[in-house]
Chain A
């Protein structure tokens, strides 16, 4: 489904702020894979997701999604294939627009936007149903401006929007990090549900090791811009935090002391 082939990205090359963000990163996802991504700060997790989403161009390497080489496609053209939820709950929705208008924008992801009506009656019913499934009471507030919703509500809405037009790939970039623990748990549960119901291929960055172990069928750990650990299937099911620490120690060697601190338990 997704193939990353030898990706490289360096920020601010040739300056004092030079930062090698991705270094020979390769990854192959099968359809239906739900991968959790962990790693310390600056390991390249978000950089990898941004490279896939096309926020900027990579320096070297190829990105192939669903058989299509998207390496040279700008962000808005990749959007037809990719659903995204950001860390900042404010980033995924348009605050000055109504709830149903936001959903309507998402429903038309990857399609030509012409001069037909922006929100139709028929689709309103779909939205109402989907919103009802969130159990947040949003189905009665469809004409409310999204800016009036809470962070958790906006993040749940963004999730719904990301899956409304079934994406080939769902990218969750620490999408619960900015929420309080109970809201975060709800949004995570919702993410699981949406991934399963739609049988999506998904990648989820998290700073929480338990979440990384509990969710998805595959776990990768990143360090210094490439993947240092890749566990899936039965092995992943049996994974514990302790084992993860040890594995990390094996692979990363001496760095374990510093990085352990950065991975929250």
Chain B
């Protein structure tokens, strides 16, 4: 297939048609990214629980809706289940001294079995928008975007308020400087458990929304969630800083985390539109995250490093 044929096979209209769906999914992943932001940026912990708790949220929501619960109540239970997952990770970390990253992996691993149990040992459970009253669905993308937007606005506002309170400040201090926090009377371990719980509660909520949007819960739906969440956080930070610079306040940072999720999914839609193999998406995402995570380090290195001295002979700036 020649290049010309390839390009002529791309329909711009098709891209436009697929974009709203990408935005809706991106919004939901953006909510997930808010959870990742809390642990990764505020608590300074890379929490891998999310891969499991995202699925837990989806599984709980679908099973309860199938059992006749209203969708909002099912989502509420999903949040509680997510909080419980985060709590487990927190306990493994603070009470049993397991490094945070390992604690998250252990919880995530165990959640695979638990999620299967929740779904009645099925790897996949469908919930049809025709039979049940769902909060949002890919069948009606515009209203899904609106619903997602309203939920995102509510959550960003909630977190903006919460992290401005005394308790929220204590949580941020814990991530910023644990020894200072202890000296100021903050129970660092309690704050870590609290932060992990809140984070995974949000992640489970977005898992529950995603399951409704796509019309099913799948045992693998959360795989790689942490990487997508990180991608959203990082893209949001870069874009937010580029657009607002010094005017980027905390509300902006939170908002841009959600926007980062949307941008990430917009890129995914473009990649799929370009007919690149969708199986390569994870590789592609990992490369993006690796590149952006390394930027601050490389920037420092460009100012002072052995490699730079070697190049310049070390005489110019001595």
Binding site for B on A (CB under 8 A): 53, 75-77, 79-80, 82, 84, 86, 90-97, 101, 104-106, 108-111, 113-119, 161
Q: Please report which residues of chain B, range 159-199, place their CB below 8 angstroms from some CB of chain A when the two chains form the complex.
A: 162, 164-170, 172-173, 175-177, 179-188
Quick check: A91 and B172 within 8 Å, CB to CB? no
Quick check: A86 and B176 within 8 Å, CB to CB? no
- A67 to B166: give the CA distance in the assembly, Å: 29
* Smallest CB separation, B145 vs chain A (Å): 32
Given A95-B176, A97-B176, decide whether A118 and B169 contact each other with a Cβ distance below 8 A.
yes
Q: Which chain A residues lie closer than 8 Å to B164 at the CB level?
A: 117-119
Quick check: B184 and A109 within 8 Å, CB to CB? yes
What total count of A-B pairs have CB within 8 Å?
87
Q: Which chain A residues lie closer than 8 Å to B165 at the CB level?
A: 113-118
Q: Which chain B residues lie closer than 8 Å to A115 at the CB level?
A: 162, 165-167
* Smallest CB separation, A156 vs chain B (Å): 15
Quick check: A97 and B167 within 8 Å, CB to CB? no
Q: Which chain B residues lie closer than 8 Å to A77 at the CB level?
A: 185
- A77 to B188: give the CA distance in the assembly, Å: 11
Quick check: A97 and B172 within 8 Å, CB to CB? yes
- A86 to B177: give the CA distance in the assembly, Å: 13
Quick check: A118 and B166 within 8 Å, CB to CB? yes
Quick check: B183 and A96 within 8 Å, CB to CB? no
Give which listed residue, A90, A95, A106, A118, contacts B184 with CB less than 8 A.
Answer: A106
- Beyond the given pairs A76-B187, A93-B180, 14 more chain A to chain B contacts, judged by CB atoms under 8 angstroms and listed by A's residue number, are A76-B182, A76-B186, A79-B185, A80-B185, A94-B181, A96-B176, A101-B172, A109-B185, A113-B166, A113-B167, A113-B186, A114-B167, A115-B162, A117-B166
Quick check: A105 and B184 within 8 Å, CB to CB? yes
User: Which residue, of A90, A94, A114, has the highest number of chain B Cβ atoms within 10 A?
Assistant: A94
Q: Which chain A residues lie closer than 8 Å to B169 at the CB level?
A: 97, 101, 104-105, 113, 118-119
Q: Which chain A residues lie closer than 8 Å to B175 at the CB level?
A: 96
Can you name 7 A-B residue pairings with CB atoms under 8 Å?
A82-B183, A91-B179, A93-B177, A95-B177, A105-B169, A105-B186, A114-B166
- A113 to B175: give the CA distance in the assembly, Å: 16
Report the 4 A-B pairs with minimum CB-CB distance, sorted nearest first: A79-B185, A94-B176, A118-B169, A113-B166
Name A110's closest neighbour in chain B (CB-CB).
B185
Quick check: A94 and B172 within 8 Å, CB to CB? yes
User: Which residue, of B164, B181, B185, has the highest number of chain A Cβ atoms within 10 A?
Assistant: B185
Q: Which chain A residues lie closer than 8 Å to B188 at the CB level?
A: 76
Q: Which chain B residues lie closer than 8 Å to A84 at the CB level?
A: 183
Q: Which chain A residues lie closer than 8 Å to B166 at the CB level?
A: 104, 108, 113-118
* Smallest CB separation, B62 vs chain A (Å): 33
- A101 to B250: give the CA distance in the assembly, Å: 13
* Smallest CB separation, B167 vs chain A (Å): 5
